[in-house]
A and B are shown apart, each in its own frame.
Chain A
Amino acid sequence: MQDATNYESWGRFPKVTHNRCFFPRNPDETSHFLQSNNASFLPRGAGRSYGDVCLNAGAYLISSQHQNKFKSFDNESGILRCESGVTISDIIQSFLPLGWFPPIVPGTKFVTIGGAIANDIHGKNHHRYGNFSRCVEKLALLRSDGEITVCDRNQNSDVFYATIGGLGLTGFILWAEIKLRKLVSPRIVSESIVMHNIDDFWQISQDANENYEYTVAWIDTTRRTKNMGRGIFYRGNHEEVKKDALLKTSLHHRSVSVPFNMPEILLNFRSIQLFNEFFLLKESHHESRRTINYNSFFFPLDSVHHWNRMYGKRGLIQWQCVIPHSNQHKALNQILNTICNSKVGSFLTVLKEFGEIKSEGLLSFPMQGTTLALDFPNTGRTVQQLCTQLHELVLRFGGRIYPAKDALMSAEHFQQFYPNFSKFKEFIDPKFSSSFYRRITQL
Chain B
Amino acid sequence: MNIPNHLAVFGATSEIAWETCKHFAEQGAHLYLCARKEDDLQRLADDLLTRGARSVAFCPFDATEEKSIDLACSKILNEFPRCDGLYIAHGFLPPNEDNAIDLNIYRTTMQINYFSVVQILEKFIPHFIKLKYGKIAVISSVAGERGKKRNAAYSAAKAALTTFLSGLRQKTKNTNIQVITLKPGTVITPMTANLPQNFLFTRAEKAGRLIYDSFKKKNENVYIPGFWRYIMLITRIIPEKIFKHLNL
Contacts and interface: CB of A to CB of B under 8 A. Distances in A.
Contacts of B39: 26-28
Contacts of A71: 43, 46-47, 50
B188 A69 contact: no
Contacts, number: 40
A77 interface: no
Interface on chain B toward A: helix, strand, loop, or mixed SS?
helix
A427 interface: no
B50 A72 contact: yes
Interface string B13-34: 0010000000000100000000
A3 interface: yes
Report the interface size class on chain A: 10 to 19
A2 B47 contact: no
B188 A25 contact: no
Of listed A5, A25, A27, residue having the most chain B CB within 10 A? A25
A23 B193 contact: yes
Contact of A4 (B26, B47, B197): B197
Contacts of A25: 40, 190
Contacts of B44: 69
Interface in B165-192: 188, 190
A23 B50 contact: no
A69 B193 contact: no
A71 to B, nearest CB: 5
B75 interface: no
B43 A26 contact: yes
B90 to A, nearest CB: 15
Contact of B47 (A26, A28, A70): A70
Given A69-B46, A73-B50, A94-B51, A26 B193 contact: no
B203 interface: yes
Nearest to A27: B39
Contacts of A27: 39
Contacts of A66: 15, 190
A70 B46 contact: yes
Interface string A65-98: 0100111110000001001000000000010000
A78 B53 CA distance: 18
Contact of A3 (B15, B26, B40, B197): B197
Given A26-B39, A26-B43, A2 B203 contact: yes
A66 B204 CA distance: 11
Interface string B192-211: 01000100000100000000
B40 A70 contact: no
A3 B203 CA distance: 10
Of listed A4, A5, A73, A80, residue having the most chain B CB within 10 A? A4
Contacts of B43: 26, 69, 71, 83
Interface in A1-56: 2-5, 23, 25-28
A26 B40 contact: yes
Contacts of B203: 2
Contacts of A26: 37, 39-40, 43
5 contacts: A4-B188, A23-B190, A69-B43, A69-B44, A69-B47
Q: Which 7 A-B pairs have the closest CB atoms?
A: A69-B47, A70-B50, A70-B47, A73-B50, A71-B46, A69-B43, A26-B40
